[in-house]
């Protein structure tokens, strides 16, 4: 819905501003030109001008909320240290996704209460997932359970997305904003993590200068656990509450690094051919291939999320198109290698999981390539390409849930 259609709906206008500030600012100019004397227009002009003024600071409510959620996440991260009867080898693989993701979901739900049904659904999904992983048998050598531990956090990440999108979970734009937000969170988390490492190094050096080894103090592991758990919560807060239009870091970084990534990728594939390295027989090399594929896909999504809704095609659009094409080549090679390994060594849970994921990514990449090609030919708007990104999220979600929940029973917990 365009901003000028929301002149008589202040609540919807506020929600649009919170979910897509950049696009709100672009569309607000239309509202400002068409209705310059409207009370709501003048109120938003005053608000935006005040919002950009220096010294607005952090609210005590926001700080308290972030501290509370960080402490809860840190406590969950340290549970094996609090209870001697809870082995780390049992706790962390099963509960990794339940340490931080509930705190992030709570942050989003408290940010804009979406209604009782969404709150109950998100809570029920977390509770059901927690019950499921604790009812599974305790087997030390089970590939299907390992796949469950790997895929369940991805499913919970989508549950966090449901908390973020709220009542608008069926729409494209909120999910696209969620993807943008994850990019911002990664950038902020990296900055916070580097700052934490620097602070830790300085602290260790200062105490060692007076003859005290900080690593030997009993509370050090607890502080590390609380600090690590707090990083994504603080990063989410910074990405949602403190970012301003035009200040998003992840899309800017993606846009700057896309041409470099394209050159590196082309050089890497060329070097691979010259050296004769093959993912058909080298399992570790196949893993690297898939990691590279996911990286290219993420870079493409974040570059796309930075692009304004209007405007001519740019060099970045062409780079994005070539990146998608390169990713398709990588995925085809990976699929051929997986097929070769299946024919040579037989079907295993790991190979089937990788095969399914690569097939989904291949279909998604083809869809993106067609959509971007139509956009570059002026046959479709960029919003249609974004729709091709977000509409595939339920497909990925269904696959990771199937692997996490269905594989153990399908393969008899092998």
Q: The tokens of 28 are what?
A: 């607000």
pLDDT at 241 over 70: no
pLDDT of residue 56: 41
pLDDT of residue 52: 42
Q: How far is it, in rounded angstroms, from Cα 304 to Cα 165?
A: 19
pLDDT of residue 242: 57
Percent of the chain with pLDDT over 90: 22
Bigger pLDDT: 372 vs 258: 372
pLDDT at 334 over 70: yes
pLDDT of residue 215: 67
To which H or E segment does residue 22 belong? helix 21-34
Q: The tokens of 292 are what?
A: 């590279």
pLDDT of residue 49: 58
| Range with the largest mean pLDDT of 10-14, 75-79, 191-195 | 75-79
Q: How far is it, in rounded angstroms, from Cα 316 to Cα 307?
A: 9
| Range with the largest mean pLDDT of 143-152, 198-207, 249-258 | 143-152
Average pLDDT, the chain: 80
pLDDT of residue 57: 46
**In contact, 245 and 25? CB cutoff 8 Å:** yes
pLDDT at 55 over 50: no
pLDDT digits (tens, 9 = 90+) for 178-190: 988 898 898 889 8
pTM, two decimals, is 0.73
- What pLDDT band is residue 321 in, cutting at 50, 70 and 90? confident
pLDDT of residue 212: 65
pLDDT at 304 over 80: no
**Burial of residue 218 (number of CB atoms within 10 Å: 0-12, 13-18, 19+):** exposed
Q: The tokens of 152 are what?
A: 């369940």
Q: The tokens of 74 are what?
A: 């840190």
Q: The tokens of 311 are what?
A: 């405007």
Closest C-alpha to 405, from 313, 31, 42, 397: 397
pLDDT digits (tens, 9 = 90+) for 136-174: 988 878 889 999 999 999 999 999 999 999 888 888 888
pLDDT at 210 over 60: no
Bigger pLDDT: 414 vs 326: 326
pLDDT of residue 53: 39
Torsion of CA 85, 88, 94, 100, to 10 degrees: 110
Q: Please, what is the Cα angle at 395 between 391 and 399, to 5 degrees?
A: 160
pLDDT of residue 42: 74
């Amino acid at each position: 819905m365009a901003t000028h259609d929301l002149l008589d709906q202040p609540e919807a206008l506020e929600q649009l501003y919170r979910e897509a500030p950049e696009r709100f600012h672009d569309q607000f100019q239309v509202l400002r030109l068409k209705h310059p004397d409207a009370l709501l227009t003048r109120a938003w002009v005053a608000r935006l001008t005040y919002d950009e003024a220096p010294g607005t600071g952090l609210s005590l409510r926001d700080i308290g909320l972030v501290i509370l959620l960080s402490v809860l996440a840190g406590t969950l991260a340290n549970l094996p240290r609090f209870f001697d009867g809870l082995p780390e080898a049992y706790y962390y693989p099963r509960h990794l996704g339940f340490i931080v993701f509930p705190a992030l979901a709570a942050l989003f739900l408290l940010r804009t209460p979406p209604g009782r049904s969404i709150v109950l659904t998100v809570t029920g999904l977390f509770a059901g997932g927690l019950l499921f992983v604790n009812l599974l048998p305790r087997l030390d050598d089970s590939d299907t359970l390992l796949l469950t531990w790997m895929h369940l956090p991805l499913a919970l990440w989508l549950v966090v997305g449901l908390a973020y999108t709220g009542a608008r979970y069926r729409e494209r734009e909120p999910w696209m904003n969620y993807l943008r937000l994850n990019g911002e969170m990664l950038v902020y988390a990296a900055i916070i993590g580097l700052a934490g490492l620097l602070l830790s190094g300085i602290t260790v050096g200062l105490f060692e200068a007076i003859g005290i080894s900080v690593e030997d103090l009993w509370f050090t592991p607890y502080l590390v656990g609380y600090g690590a758990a707090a990083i994504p919560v603080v990063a989410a807060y910074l990405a949602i509450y403190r970012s301003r239009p035009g200040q998003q870091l992840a899309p800017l970084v993606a846009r700057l690094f896309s041409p470099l990534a394209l050159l590196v990728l082309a050089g890497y594939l060329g070097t691979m051919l010259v050296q004769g390295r093959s993912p058909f027989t080298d399992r570790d090399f196949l893993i690297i291939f898939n990691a590279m594929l996911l990286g290219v896909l993420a870079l493409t999504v974040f570059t796309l999320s930075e692009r304004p809704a209007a405007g001519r095609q740019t060099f970045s659009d062409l780079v994005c198109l070539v990146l998608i094409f390169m990713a398709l080549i990588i995925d085809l090679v990976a699929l051929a290698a997986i097929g070769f390994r299946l024919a040579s060594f037989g079907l295993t849970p790991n190979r089937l999981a990788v095969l399914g994921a690569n097939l989904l990514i291949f279909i998604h990449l083809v869809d993106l390539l067609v959509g971007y090609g139509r956009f570059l030919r002026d046959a479709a708007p960029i919003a249609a390409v974004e729709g091709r990104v977000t509409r595939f999220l339920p497909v990925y979600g269904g696959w990771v849930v199937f692997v996490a929940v269905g594989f153990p029973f399908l393969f008899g917990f092998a």
